[in-house]
Amino acid sequence: MEISVSYLSSKYDPKRTIQMIEGTSANYIHVDLMDGGFVPHKNFSISEVLDLLGDHQKPLDIHLMVFDPIIYIHDLASLHPRYITFHLEATKDIVGTIEEIRKYGIGVGLSIKPNTDLYELMPYLSFVDLVLIMSVEPGAGGQAFLPTSVNRLEELIKIREENHFSFQIEMDGGINKDTISFVPTLDIAVSGSFVCQSEDFQKRIDELKNRM
Ligand code: DX5
Ligand code: ZN
């Protein structure tokens, strides 16, 4: 399992947090972008994001919690992220958004909120590189892991096997050294506050890796 660290809710300011993540064995920097429409808070302008991440080293795993994600892809592509993930619930033009991300050679991720039926993903699963299962309602760090996420992961793995799909499965929300042990079959775990509210990020990442 790989670890993607979200800097959304940290003890430190975003620039310092990103430097600290760069110094660990984390596999990705998870970039949460919120528009104040799809979720209640807005936390970026495109120029701020480009400035903050312009000299990043680790691969970026961008999580768009925005309506009309297609309008952000061109600017974000200049950061050369590994994945750009958008929400199934955020646009009517899912196929167009997949194609727009693909156009730049970036991995395509599709995310699903906790109460959306997994089968709504079905028409798109052969076209995506990653599915992000939200294990909290999107919008804020520091929430409790929803236990129903465990069954959703198992169900999605079954769908992947039965249909010979090849996407990676990521989970995001409430992942810490206890909850990670409920989801050992994940490909990528996002962890935010568990890592970034501490003074020793590497120690927290080691705790996660020891419990996988
Ligand atoms: C929540 C964000 C998450 C958040 C995770 O909407 O998408 O990436 O930062 O933070 P924790 O790990 O604290 O739940
Ligand atoms: Zn996220």
Instruction: Write out pLDDT tens, residues 162-189.
Output: 999 999 999 999 999 999 999 999 999 9
pLDDT of 71 reads: 98
Tally the domains of the chain.
1
Counting residues of the chain whose pLDDT is more than 70, the rounded percentage is 100
pLDDT of 99 reads: 98
For ligand 1, what atom is nearest to the CA of residue 30?
8
Domain that holds residue 196: 2-210
Pairing of strands 83-87, 28-34: unpaired
Has 187 been annotated as catalytic?
A: no
The secondary structure of residue 125, as a DSSP letter, is T
For residue 175, the domain's CATH number is: 3.20.20.70
Task: Categorize the per-residue pLDDT at 212 as very low, low, confident or very high, splitting at 50, 70 and 90.
Answer: confident
Cβ-based neighbour number of residue 152 at 10 Å = 20
User: Which amino acid residue places its CA nearest to atom 12 of ligand 1?
Assistant: 192
For all residues of the chain together, what is the average pLDDT? 98
For ligand 1, what atom is nearest to the CA of residue 63?
7
**CA–CA gap between residue 127 and residue 99 (Å, rounded):** 9
Mean pLDDT value across residues 47-69: 97
pLDDT for 8-39, tens place per residue?
999 999 999 999 999 999 999 999 999 999 99
Q: Is 81 in the pocket of ligand 1 (CB under 6 A)?
A: no
Q: Which has the closest alpha carbon to 76: 92, 89, 60?
A: 60
DSSP letters spanning 133-189: EESS-TT-SSPPPPTTHHHHHHHHHHHHHHHT---EEEEESS--TTGGGG-TT-SEE
pLDDT of 76 above 90: yes
**CA–CA gap between residue 180 and residue 190 (Å, rounded):** 10
Task: Categorize the per-residue pLDDT at 203 as very low, low, confident or very high, splitting at 50, 70 and 90.
Answer: very high
Ligand 1: which of 193, 196, 205 to mutate, most ligand atoms within 8 Å of CB?
193
DSSP letters spanning 14-71: HHHHHHHHHTS--SEEEEEEEBSSSSS-B---HHHHHHHHTT--SPEEEEEESSSGGG
Q: Is 191 in the pocket of ligand 1 (CB under 6 A)?
A: yes
Residue 105, Ramachandran bin (φ over 0: left; ψ between -120 and 50: alpha; else beta): left
Cβ-based neighbour number of residue 36 at 10 Å = 14
Name which of 5-9, 20-24, 208-212 the model is least confident about: 208-212
**CA–CA gap between residue 14 and residue 25 (Å, rounded):** 18
Task: Categorize the per-residue pLDDT at 155 as very low, low, confident or very high, splitting at 50, 70 and 90.
Answer: very high
Q: Which has the closest alpha carbon to 192: 153, 152, 139?
A: 139
pLDDT of 164 reads: 98
Three-class DSSP category at 73? helix
CA angle in degrees (0–180, nearest 5) for 194-20-8: 50
Q: Is 14 in the pocket of ligand 1 (CB under 6 A)?
A: no
pLDDT of 149 above 90: yes
User: Which amino acid residue places its CA nearest to atom 6 of ligand 1?
Assistant: 138
**CA–CA gap between residue 185 and residue 208 (Å, rounded):** 14
Mean pLDDT value across residues 131-152: 98
Ligand nearest the Cα atom of residue 189: 1
pLDDT of 211 reads: 87
pLDDT for 118-133, tens place per residue?
999 999 999 999 999 9
